[in-house]
Amino acid sequence: MTVLRSAACCLAALAVTSAAQAASGYHVIDRIAGPDGRWDYVRVDPTNNRVLVTHGGNVMAIDLTTKAVSSFGPGQILHDAMPVNGGSEVLVTNGGTATAVFINAKSLAPVATVETGKGPDAAAFDSKTGLVLVMDHAGGQVTLVDPKTHKAVGTIDVGGDLEAAATDGSGKAFVNVEDKNEIVAIDVAQKKVLARYPLPGCEGPTGLAYNAADKVLIAACDGATVVVDAKSGKVIQTLPTGKGADGIAFDPKQKLAFVPAGRAGTLSVISFAGGKGTIIDTVPTQVGARTIALDERTGRLYLPTAKFGAPATPGGRPTLEPGSFQVLVVGK
């Protein structure tokens, strides 16, 4: 009798959990194929109604009206392609040449090249100063670039392997330091480090978002997502999410965070209220879908991925199956 009651309770609990996980309504609604190649960050370019994916030595562009795919900006080991100057240009970080390249969004011609530190990776825009922050992953510094003049105007020595950054709109920026499991707070105008926030329970922080309404940072780690008070650096929560995250998206209208897990092939949907997050859904995506971009106009999410085969050499990186690259579209 006790066993039967226990089983019934477990089944009821599973039913409630399944209902809660299905509540978000998010699922893969489309897949857009692209050329073969490895990839990194993905961005939505609302001015030109397209999605931009750094795709090996080029930037892949998807027209969101026609779904036509094109490429521009040949380079070496590209990481981020961020629309700047009202969408009239795209800033592309080029890890192979330690530069940030400005490209005309219409003609696709290079406009200017700016030297950065070693291994420029993610980029972020600070609306207070009007500067772009380029995270030099291998060099441990942030290069500050004026997008109007196309010039570097300073650097901030942070140290460590720098990943994504988030800004708060009032001149502060926050940078994930992957190898030190910390967030570093920066004063952009003063070009200095303000504080270091240790992240216990976080292994290899990559994606970072700022929830302005609750004034909290949301850091995507390997197997967990950490919520941090942006002012004090205190860890508020550690939520279990999938393995292999390399990005995060936050929808301020719905107060939802989306954390992709490339190894798990899932997307965690986290709802925020009162500065705390609750996982309301775990959406199946595809193994490899580790970076993400949100189109705030439609609420849709874009995740590049491909299918993988065995490494060419023992212990090497998995090979990509030819013809398998695609961008997943997640929506309701």
The two tokens of residue 49 are: 């109604």
183 DSSP assignment: E
Q: What is the mean pLDDT of residues 136-162?
A: 97
Q: What is the mean pLDDT of residues 145-156?
A: 98
Give the confidence band of 4 by pLDDT, cuts at 50, 70, 90. Answer: very low
Q: What is the mean pLDDT of residues 239-267?
A: 97
Q: Which of 7-11, 117-121, 242-246, 323-327 is predicted least confidently? A: 7-11
Mean pLDDT across the chain? 93
Distances (CA, A) of 106 to 47, 73, 88, 235, 267: 11, 12, 7, 44, 33
Note the pLDDT of residue 22. 54
Residue with tokens 């490209």: 103
Note the pLDDT of residue 315. 80
Note the pLDDT of residue 10. 40
Residue from 166, 160, 132 nearest 146 by CA: 132
pLDDT at 85 over 60: yes
| Domains by residue range for the chain, with CATH | 73-198 (2.130.10.10)
Q: What is the mean pLDDT of residues 234-259?
A: 97
Residues 6+ positions from 276 with CB-CB distance below 8 Å: 227, 236, 237
pLDDT at 250 over 70: yes
pTM score, whole prediction: 0.92
pLDDT at 1 over 70: no
Note the pLDDT of residue 12. 40
> What is the share, in percent, of the chain residues with pLDDT greater than 70?
93
Q: Find which of 11-20, 68-77, 127-136 is predicted with most confidence, using mean pLDDT.
A: 127-136
Alpha-carbon distance 325 to 289, whole Å? Answer: 11
Model confidence pLDDT, tens digit, residues 7-48 = 344 434 433 334 344 579 999 999 999 999 999 999 999 999
Q: Does an H or E element contain 4, and which?
A: helix 2-22
pLDDT at 297 over 50: yes
Is 145 in contact with 136 (CB distance < 8 Å)?
Answer: no
Buried b (16+ CB within 10 A) or exposed e, 214-240: bebbbbbbbbbbbbbebeebebebbbe
Q: With 0-12 CB in 10 A as exposed, 13-18 as middle and 19+ as buried, what is 167?
A: buried
Note the pLDDT of residue 19. 39
Q: What is the mean pLDDT of residues 235-242?
A: 98
Give the confidence band of 236 by pLDDT, cuts at 50, 70, 90. Answer: very high
